[in-house]
Protein backbone atom coordinates (compact mmCIF):
# COMPACT_ATOMS: atom_id res chain seq x y z
CA UNK A 1 0.00 0.00 0.00
CA UNK A 2 1.34 3.42 -0.91
CA UNK A 3 0.50 6.71 0.71
CA UNK A 4 -0.19 9.47 -1.78
CA UNK A 5 1.47 12.87 -1.72
CA UNK A 6 -1.47 14.59 0.00
CA UNK A 7 -1.52 12.12 2.87
CA UNK A 8 2.26 12.39 3.28
CA UNK A 9 1.90 16.16 3.47
CA UNK A 10 -0.81 15.88 6.15
CA UNK A 11 1.33 13.44 8.14
CA UNK A 12 4.34 15.77 7.86
CA UNK A 13 2.36 18.81 9.04
CA UNK A 14 0.87 16.92 11.97
CA UNK A 15 4.10 15.29 13.11
CA UNK A 16 6.25 18.41 12.78
CA UNK A 17 3.58 20.65 14.34
CA UNK A 18 3.97 22.97 11.32
CA UNK A 19 2.19 26.29 11.98
CA UNK A 20 3.30 28.08 8.83
CA UNK A 21 0.71 29.99 6.77
CA UNK A 22 1.12 27.40 3.99
CA UNK A 23 0.40 24.53 6.38
CA UNK A 24 -2.61 26.30 7.84
CA UNK A 25 -4.02 26.99 4.38
CA UNK A 26 -3.51 23.39 3.28
CA UNK A 27 -5.05 21.95 6.45
CA UNK A 28 -8.07 24.23 6.01
CA UNK A 29 -8.88 22.50 2.71
CA UNK A 30 -10.69 19.49 4.19
CA UNK A 31 -12.98 18.97 7.20
CA UNK A 32 -10.86 16.04 8.37
CA UNK A 33 -7.55 17.85 7.97
CA UNK A 34 -8.86 20.98 9.68
CA UNK A 35 -10.15 18.99 12.65
CA UNK A 36 -6.90 17.03 12.95
CA UNK A 37 -4.87 20.25 12.78
CA UNK A 38 -6.97 21.81 15.54
CA UNK A 39 -6.71 18.68 17.67
CA UNK A 40 -3.11 17.56 17.17
CA UNK A 41 -1.24 20.78 16.38
CA UNK A 42 -3.13 23.73 17.82
CA UNK A 43 -4.79 21.95 20.72
CA UNK A 44 -7.58 24.43 20.25
CA UNK A 45 -9.68 26.50 17.90
CA UNK A 46 -8.68 26.66 14.21
CA UNK A 47 -10.49 29.74 12.89
CA UNK A 48 -9.27 29.36 9.31
CA UNK A 49 -10.67 25.82 9.16
CA UNK A 50 -14.07 26.43 10.67
CA UNK A 51 -15.87 27.07 7.37
CA UNK A 52 -14.77 23.74 5.91
CA UNK A 53 -15.40 21.91 9.20
CA UNK A 54 -18.93 23.34 9.21
CA UNK A 55 -19.64 21.58 5.91
CA UNK A 56 -19.39 18.16 7.60
CA UNK A 57 -21.85 16.84 10.18
CA UNK A 58 -19.29 14.48 11.74
CA UNK A 59 -16.40 16.94 11.93
CA UNK A 60 -18.67 19.75 13.15
CA UNK A 61 -19.80 17.52 16.00
CA UNK A 62 -16.38 16.32 17.09
CA UNK A 63 -14.92 19.82 16.68
CA UNK A 64 -17.63 21.16 19.01
CA UNK A 65 -17.20 18.28 21.46
CA UNK A 66 -13.40 17.94 21.51
CA UNK A 67 -12.01 21.35 20.55
CA UNK A 68 -14.54 24.05 21.43
CA UNK A 69 -16.21 22.11 24.25
CA UNK A 70 -19.33 24.14 23.49
CA UNK A 71 -21.83 24.74 20.72
CA UNK A 72 -20.65 25.28 17.15
CA UNK A 73 -23.43 27.28 15.45
CA UNK A 74 -21.60 27.36 12.12
CA UNK A 75 -21.87 23.56 11.86
CA UNK A 76 -25.42 23.13 13.09
CA UNK A 77 -26.96 23.09 9.61
CA UNK A 78 -24.77 20.14 8.65
CA UNK A 79 -25.29 18.37 11.98
CA UNK A 80 -29.06 18.79 11.67
CA UNK A 81 -29.08 16.51 8.62
CA UNK A 82 -27.79 13.37 10.33
CA UNK A 83 -29.96 11.63 12.97
CA UNK A 84 -27.03 10.16 14.93
CA UNK A 85 -24.92 13.32 14.87
CA UNK A 86 -27.87 15.58 15.71
CA UNK A 87 -28.73 13.37 18.69
CA UNK A 88 -25.12 13.21 19.92
CA UNK A 89 -24.69 16.97 19.54
CA UNK A 90 -27.83 17.60 21.61
CA UNK A 91 -26.82 15.09 24.29
CA UNK A 92 -23.06 15.62 24.55
CA UNK A 93 -22.49 19.23 23.55
CA UNK A 94 -25.66 21.23 24.06
CA UNK A 95 -26.90 19.02 26.90
CA UNK A 96 -30.27 20.31 25.83
CA UNK A 97 -32.71 20.10 22.96
CA UNK A 98 -31.50 20.75 19.42
CA UNK A 99 -34.62 22.03 17.63
CA UNK A 100 -32.88 22.38 14.26
CA UNK A 101 -31.95 18.68 14.35
CA UNK A 102 -35.22 17.26 15.60
CA UNK A 103 -36.58 16.42 12.14
CA UNK A 104 -33.51 14.30 11.43
CA UNK A 105 -33.49 12.70 14.88
CA UNK A 106 -37.17 11.77 14.47
CA UNK A 107 -36.27 9.67 11.40
CA UNK A 108 -34.53 7.16 13.68
CA UNK A 109 -36.89 5.65 16.26
CA UNK A 110 -34.11 4.70 18.68
CA UNK A 111 -32.44 8.13 18.66
CA UNK A 112 -35.85 9.83 18.86
CA UNK A 113 -36.78 7.76 21.92
CA UNK A 114 -33.46 8.47 23.66
CA UNK A 115 -33.70 12.16 22.72
CA UNK A 116 -37.10 12.43 24.37
CA UNK A 117 -36.27 10.43 27.51
Tell me the per-residue pLDDT of 70-94, one tens digit each, with 9 for 90 and over: 999 999 999 999 999 999 999 999 9
Tell me if 82 sits within 8 A of 56, measured CB to CB: no
As a whole number of angstroms, the distance between CA 63 and CA 41 comes to 14
Are the C-beta atoms of 28 and 49 separated by less than 8 Å? yes
Share of the chain above pLDDT 70, in %: 97
pLDDT tens for 13-40 read 999 999 999 999 999 999 999 999 999 9
pLDDT at 3: 66
CB 88 within 8 A of CB 61: yes
Amino acid sequence: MTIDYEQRRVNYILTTQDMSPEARKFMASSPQYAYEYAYFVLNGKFSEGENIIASSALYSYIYARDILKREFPEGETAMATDPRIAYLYARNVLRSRFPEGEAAIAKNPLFWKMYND
